[in-house]
Amino acid sequence: MSETIAPAGVAQKPRRTLTRAVIRFAGDSGDGMQVTGEQFTTEAAWAGNDISTLPNFPAEIRAPAGTLFGVSSFQLQFGSQRVYTPGDQLDATGLSGTQKERLRQAIHRKNSPELGSLLKDYQVYPGLQRAILARQDPVAIAAGAFHNDVVAVSHHHHLFCHEQAFLDQANVLAQLQDKMSDQPLQILQVKAADIPLDVAISTYLFNSQIVTAGDGSTCMILPAECEDNVQVKQYVAERIVGSGFVQKALYVDVRQSMRNGGGPACLRLRVVLSSDQAARLENRVIINRETIEKLRQLIQAEYPVHMDVTFLRDAETVTHLNHVVGRVYRMLGIPVDF
């Protein structure tokens, strides 16, 4: 794995070849640090790196800018060799504007030339010139949309959003159209009169995913809650598929995932790989029917059906459970030391 060459206009530094690197993105809640980290992780995976991530969510949602309890960060370690942890020592840090200013103020208070030299490393890369800083509509936040993926979803040149997704939405969409003028953006706004915010949120309409099939057609994958709601199902048929925004709608039941702590947003967790990239993946990261059946048999044979406090006090039982977990790890090809 090699370090990225700095873009034109940025002081060149000696290149180093690393087997692993640790980077952390940090900023205020709402600055997009989680999205940035997830996108960086996807790009690193595309390059064939092994990865371990550590998302760190803020202690308070929508905390005042610049407060410690509003800091959101995403750390990952990636490399050409096997990676087991998100890393202990950082090789690079990416800060949002507010956090960078806090660092500048801290350096001023400490009067530290050494720390001051760090700021020279922060540059605005050309790709960020296409970035748009959009705020959520307070109406959507009040309705329970603490993250914008509850009221908007995009894919390539498709943007599907509620009309109350962004503050000053007309201006936000105009900026998007302008920055993507080379490849026009298809935008479908859902009117509150058609689907009220509370219905959109309760049915997870915007937690859907839009995908492109091998033949170039587009499909929207939606949670089953959308199919169960007559109003939303009709809108999907008439306005989403019927208008040609996408060619097909597919409903998927993810309630079991939700009961296990996941949610409809899990539909959007994906890494797109070419045939060559997929061939380089280790078998341990690919789930198939054979592995699922082995796991099912192990769980049915060894996992307890009921547990209570006295059950956990038994040292022999705890030892047995650790042994079972070790078998799961070994079955998946994950190194285990117990």
Question: What pTM did the predictor assign?
Answer: 0.53
Contact between 176 and 159 under an 8 Å Cβ cutoff? The reply is: yes
pLDDT at 149: 80
Query: Tokens 């030892």, residue?
Result: 319
State mean pLDDT over 40-53.
86
Q: What is the mean pLDDT of the chain?
A: 79
Q: Is 118 a residue whose pLDDT tops 50?
A: no
pLDDT at 310: 80
* H runs (alpha helix) in the chain: 33-46, 97-110, 113-116, 138-142, 169-179, 197-202, 224-228, 230-235, 255-259, 275-280, 289-302, 309-313, 315-331
Cα–Cα distances in angstroms (integers) from residue 198 to residues 140, 157, 168, 189, 266, in the given order: 9, 27, 20, 16, 21
> The tokens of 174 are what?
């105009």
C-alpha–C-alpha distance, residues 67 and 272, integer Å: 36
| Highest mean pLDDT pick, 4-8, 19-23, 103-107, 110-114 | 19-23
Cα–Cα distances in angstroms (integers) from residue 338 to residues 26, 320, 334, 335, in the given order: 35, 11, 12, 10
Q: What percent of the chain has pLDDT over 90?
A: 25
Collapsed DSSP state (helix, strand, coil) of residue 225:
helix
In this predicted model, what pLDDT tens digit does every residue of 172-197 receive, in sequence order?
A: 999 999 888 888 889 999 999 999 99
Q: How confident is the model at residue 152 (pLDDT cuts 50, 70, 90)?
A: very high
Q: How confident is the model at residue 60 (pLDDT cuts 50, 70, 90)?
A: low
Q: Which of 182, 126, 175, 125 is nearest to 157 (CA)?
A: 182
Q: Which of 265, 277, 39 is nearest to 150 (CA)?
A: 265
Instruction: Pick the more confident residue, 300 or 260.
Output: 300
C-alpha–C-alpha distance, residues 228 and 205, integer Å: 11
Q: How confident is the model at residue 13 (pLDDT cuts 50, 70, 90)?
A: low
Q: What is the largest CA-CA distance in the chain?
A: 66
